[in-house]
Chains A and B, each alone.
Chain A
Amino acid sequence: QVQLQESGPGLVKSSETLSLTCTVSGGSVSGYYWTWIRQPPGKGLEWIGYIYYSGTTNYNPSLKSRVTMSVDTSKNQFSLKLSSVTAADTAVYYCARDRSSHFDFWGQGTLVTVSS
């Protein structure tokens, strides 16, 4: 059973960069797409972007200018960086395995709060 675990700071200052890592266990990052999704408190789901194990990326146009994703196959991890954060970026951030259509395995999510 594939398992994903998000890790990173739970508090980020406004205008700084949010950095999260997703560690995959029970399977390999190789051969798959991997996605980040976020959910502001009490609101719906927003797709941030995906990365293929080879490093190819595709980002939500609304966030594209601030998002960078990377993958480390040797560590079985992939990462998200979101720059110039504001209070609007406060959310639970999920990583998930992306089957190019649906998301079949998800991490438990991690709350990131942007403080002023």
Chain B
Amino acid sequence: DIQMTQSPSSLSASVGDRVTITCQASQDISNYLNWYQQKPGKAPKLLIYDASNLETGVPSRFSGSGSGTDFTFTISSLQPEDIATYYCQEYDNLYTFGQGTKLEIK
């Protein structure tokens, strides 16, 4: 089984800050990695697919990069509406999610 390790598990940042979340796979998954945003009481929303492709309609302040085992998700300038939990998800071997990163406003 592929394990996905996200860090940090929680993060506090100020509006306008650059925020970075990492996701590490236990084995090479090429670029088979997606990122989701989940707000409280809501379903997750796809933001980034195939490691670096922005889903249609998602603001350009969100971006993703990486390949192999190490991946990065970035918010270039944090906005109040970005408060949520973020999950990575691999699809190299069925589907596995990271444990999530809870993002809060400082």
Contact at B95–A47, with CB atoms within 8 Å? yes
Measured CB to CB, the closest approach of chain A to B62, in angstroms, equals 15
A41-61 to B contact mask, C-beta < 8 Å, 1/0 = 000111100000000001011
Contact at A45–B55, with CB atoms within 8 Å? no
Contact at B50–A104, with CB atoms within 8 Å? no
Max chain B CB contacts within 10 Å: which of A100, A101, A109?
A101
Tell me which of B42, B44, B91, B96 contacts A101 (CB under 8 A): B91
Judge whether A10 is part of the interface by a CB distance below 8 angstroms.
no
Tell me which of B50, B55, B91, B97 contacts A44 (CB under 8 A): B97
| Contact status of A104 and B55, CB under 8 A, knowing A44-B87, A45-B44, A109-B43 | yes
Return chain B residues, CB-CB under 8 Å to A107.
43
Tell me which of B32, B87, B94 contacts A45 (CB under 8 A): B87
Q: Is the interface of B mostly helix, strand, loop or mixed?
A: loop
Judge whether A108 is part of the interface by a CB distance below 8 angstroms.
yes
Q: How far is the CA of A86 from the CA of B55 in the complex (A)?
A: 37
Contact at A106–B89, with CB atoms within 8 Å? no
Max chain B CB contacts within 10 Å: which of A35, A46, A94, A104?
A104
Contact at A47–B97, with CB atoms within 8 Å? yes
Measured CB to CB, the closest approach of chain B to A40, in angstroms, equals 12
Judge whether A75 is part of the interface by a CB distance below 8 angstroms.
no
15 CB contacts below 8 A, A to B, read A44-B98, A45-B44, A45-B97, A47-B97, A58-B94, A61-B1, A94-B43, A96-B43, A101-B34, A102-B34, A102-B49, A102-B50, A103-B89, A108-B42, A109-B43
Seen from chain A, the residues whose Cβ lies within 8 Å of a Cβ on chain B are 35, 44-47, 58, 60-61, 94, 96, 100-104, 106-109
Seen from chain B, the residues whose Cβ lies within 8 Å of a Cβ on chain A are 1, 32, 34, 36, 42-46, 49-50, 55, 87, 89, 91, 94-100
